[in-house]
A = this chain, B = another copy of it.
Amino acid sequence: MSVARVLHHFPLDPASRQVRLALGEKRLAFVDNPVRYWEQPEEFVALNPSGATPVLVEGVGPGALVVCESRAILEHLEENYPEPPLLGREPADRAEARRLLQWFDRKFDYEVGGLLLHEKMEKRLLRLGSPDLGAIRQGREALRLHMEYLEGLLTTREWLAGRRLSLADFAAAAQLSVIDYFGDVPWRGFNHVKTWYMKLKSRPAFRPILADRWPGLAPAGHYDDLDF
Which residues of chain A from 63 to 85 have any CB-CB distance to chain B below 8 Å in the complex?
Answer: 65-72, 75-76, 79-80
Query: Contact at B68–A99, with CB atoms within 8 Å?
Result: yes
> B residues within 8 A CB of A99?
48, 50, 67-69, 72
Query: Contact at B79–A95, with CB atoms within 8 Å?
Result: no
Q: A107-B50, A149-B49 are in contact. Are A72 and B95 (CB under 8 A)?
A: yes
| Binary B-proximity of A72-115 (CB < 8 A = 1, otherwise 0) | 10011001100000000001101100110111011100000000
Q: Does A52 contact B (CB under 8 A)?
A: yes
Query: Contact at A76–B102, with CB atoms within 8 Å?
Result: no
Query: Contact at A95–B50, with CB atoms within 8 Å?
Result: no
Interface size on A, residues (CB 8 A): 29
Query: Contact at A103–B72, with CB atoms within 8 Å?
Result: no
Copy total for this chain: 2
Q: Nearest CB to that of A70 among chain B residues?
A: B102
Query: Contact at B50–A79, with CB atoms within 8 Å?
Result: no
Query: Contact at B71–A103, with CB atoms within 8 Å?
Result: no
A171 vs chain B, min Cβ distance (A): 12
Which residues of chain A from 34 to 78 have any CB-CB distance to chain B below 8 Å in the complex?
Answer: 48-50, 52, 65-72, 75-76
Q: Nearest CB to that of A90 among chain B residues?
A: B65
Instruction: State A98–B63 Cα separation when bound (angstroms).
Output: 19
Instruction: State A98–B75 Cα separation when bound (angstroms).
Output: 9
Query: Contact at A76–B52, with CB atoms within 8 Å?
Result: no
Which residues of chain A from 181 to 222 have any CB-CB distance to chain B below 8 Å in the complex?
Answer: none
> B residues within 8 A CB of A94?
72, 75-76, 79
A96 vs chain B, min Cβ distance (A): 9
Sample 19 A-B pairs with CB under 8 A, ordered by A number: A49-B149, A50-B99, A52-B107, A65-B91, A65-B92, A66-B95, A67-B95, A68-B95, A68-B99, A69-B102, A69-B103, A72-B95, A72-B99, A72-B101, A75-B75, A75-B94, A79-B94, A80-B91, A106-B106
Known: A67-B95, A68-B99, A80-B91. 5 other contacts (CB 8 A): A49-B149, A52-B107, A66-B95, A69-B103, A72-B101
